[in-house]
Amino acid sequence: MTPTRLLLASSLVLLTACAQQPRQNVTVENQRDCPMQLKNGQNMILSLPSNPTTGYRWAIQDSAGGVLKSLGPEVYHNPENSDMIGAAGQSTWRFQAFATGTGRLRLTYQQPWEPEVPPVQSFDCPIVVN
């Protein structure tokens, strides 16, 4: 086999392998993105609209702990083009799929000092890890 053909054949093998690899990071921004199918080792980035200046916070009720592990605490980010005090932003969490199975990632949006008041929003996402 000539060097050119060998290079072409090995390039095709590498391209095929790359095409079959799942994206390392999967972003979820809406309930419509669920249910979520992940591969073991894949990262899931969850971003939800929030505005802590109102007293409302997202609270994790079920972290799908049997299949997902947290990669850190919630990170809140204001929009860069907003000079308004109290403007809404995004709360973001990072998780990694670590075990085959199923779970539910559930969060509620409410004021923590009023747990008896129903949440104003909720996020409920079935997770399947293969």
pLDDT, tens digit (0-9, with 9 covering 90-100), for 118-128: 999 999 999 99
* Predicted local distance difference test score (pLDDT) of residue 2: 63
Q: Does the pLDDT at position 7 exceed 60?
A: no
Q: Are 97 and 121 in contact (CB under 8 A)?
A: no
User: Which among 5, 42, 2, 4 has a CA at the least distance from the CA of 23?
Assistant: 42
Q: Tell me, yes or no, if the pTM score tops 0.75.
A: yes
Q: Does the pLDDT at position 10 exceed 80?
A: no
* Average pLDDT estimate for 77-94: 82
* Predicted local distance difference test score (pLDDT) of residue 15: 45
Q: Which helix (H) or strand (E) holds 63?
A: strand 57-63
Please tell me which residue, 6 or 116, carries the higher pLDDT value.
116
Neighbours of 38 (CB within 10 A): 21
* Average pLDDT estimate for 22-39: 91
Neighbours of 125 (CB within 10 A): 20
* Predicted local distance difference test score (pLDDT) of residue 35: 96
* Average pLDDT estimate for 31-54: 95
Residue 69 token pair = 């592990």
